[in-house]
Amino acid sequence: MSTKKDKFSAEDKNYMKLAINLANVRKGLTGDNPSVGCVIVKNDKIVSIGQTGLNGRPHAETNAINNSFQSLVGAKIYVTLEPCNHYGKTAPCTNSIINSGIKEVFYSINDIDKKVKGKSFKILSNKNIKVRKGLLKDEVKDLYESYIINRIKKIPFVTSKIAISQNKLIYSDKKKRITSQVSDKLSHYLRYKNDGLMISSNTLNIDNPRLSCRLKGYENFSPKRIILDKNLDIGLNTRIFKSANKNNTIIFHQSSNKSKISILKRKGITLIKSKLDKKKRFDLKIILRKLFLLGIKNLLVEGGDKITKNMLKYRLVNRFYMFKSSKNLPKSKKHVIFSSNSILKKNYIIKSSISSKLAKDKITIYKRKYV
């Protein structure tokens, strides 16, 4: 039952929760467009659902309306984001809603796109459609944090991860594996959800990674590989070099090695000469802006201790996943200790944590503090 404090019913909230889940499934896979979820209800029954198509089209509302096998006259529609109201590569979703006969529209928050923002309420209301906004708005703001950062800051939404042992080592040459296979699957899920994956040349040459998504059925969703390689130290026998082509690999560098540049260009690798800071390190803010211009909207960073520390120090990471094993790694002459705990506590808060007997590892997800 609605109250003055909360104008939405339990049923309204449940329908919007379903719409949020639909949007989450496609999050990171809809290109320039936000991932939207949509649920249509008639006579208190769900008659259709929709979500934004892969690469951003068709829109969720259009999919839900077209998916229905019955008349939608008098129905209600629940949408996570304000429906679009302008002509672009597709017709406005407000037109589809009006033409369908839907009589009540629920959406959580206004779109931040200036072409859309706040206009749909008036357009739909003028057609005698009841419009209600604000339903589960806090949950939906969290859903669209990456979209908001993309639109306002013109940089990718950055997720970073690191695996550490019980004794806080992230590397030992005596033992490579730190976390369980279950944790590895979550790591590959993060790769699936991001369109770019960034590492340093040091990580590349030591670990010789594939940087692909190896979840069964999702191999084609592997992210673009991005390497920070100041001196073009990439080994020609590495998996990244051997599998590189014009569509999957970007290297940022500061090298004048014409021979190496020629070899890499012949593989189709995109080479970008990028400025260094006073400490002769890449300016990571410039890197992020360039990646955004290259179409990277969601970036996963799988760096070692140095790149992770710099990203966290300058608050460039939006979500940070710490995979902590219950086991110790053996210390050796070549071991690396995770050195960013104090920075993490200063600049980030714990959003959630996951632990189970199956995974054997504790996974803590940190969220950047906003000041």
Separation CA 369–CA 371 (nearest Å): 6
Structure-derived torsion over alpha carbons of residues 81, 87, 88, 91, reported in degrees to the nearest 10: 80
* CB neighbour class for 367 (10 Å; exposed up to 12, middle 13-18, buried from 19): middle
CA distances from 63 to 77, 93, 328 (A): 12, 10, 50
Residue 326 in 3-state DSSP?
Answer: coil
Separation CA 214–CA 187 (nearest Å): 10
Q: Give kind and range of the element (H or E) at residue 182.
A: helix 181-193
Kindly name the residue from 61, 82, 139, 219 that is annotated as catalytic. Answer: 61
Separation CA 82–CA 109 (nearest Å): 6
- Give me 44's structure tokens: 């208190």
Separation CA 61–CA 63 (nearest Å): 5
Which of 67, 111, 68, 116 has the alpha carbon at shortest distance from 90? 116
Residues pairing with 159 in the sheet: 300, 319
Separation CA 163–CA 214 (nearest Å): 18
Separation CA 61–CA 245 (nearest Å): 37
* CB neighbour class for 357 (10 Å; exposed up to 12, middle 13-18, buried from 19): exposed
On whether the CB atoms of residues 28 and 190 are closer than 8 A, the answer is no
Active site residue 61: yes
- The number of helix segments (H) and strand segments (E) in the chain equals 13, 16
Q: What residues are labeled active site?
A: 61
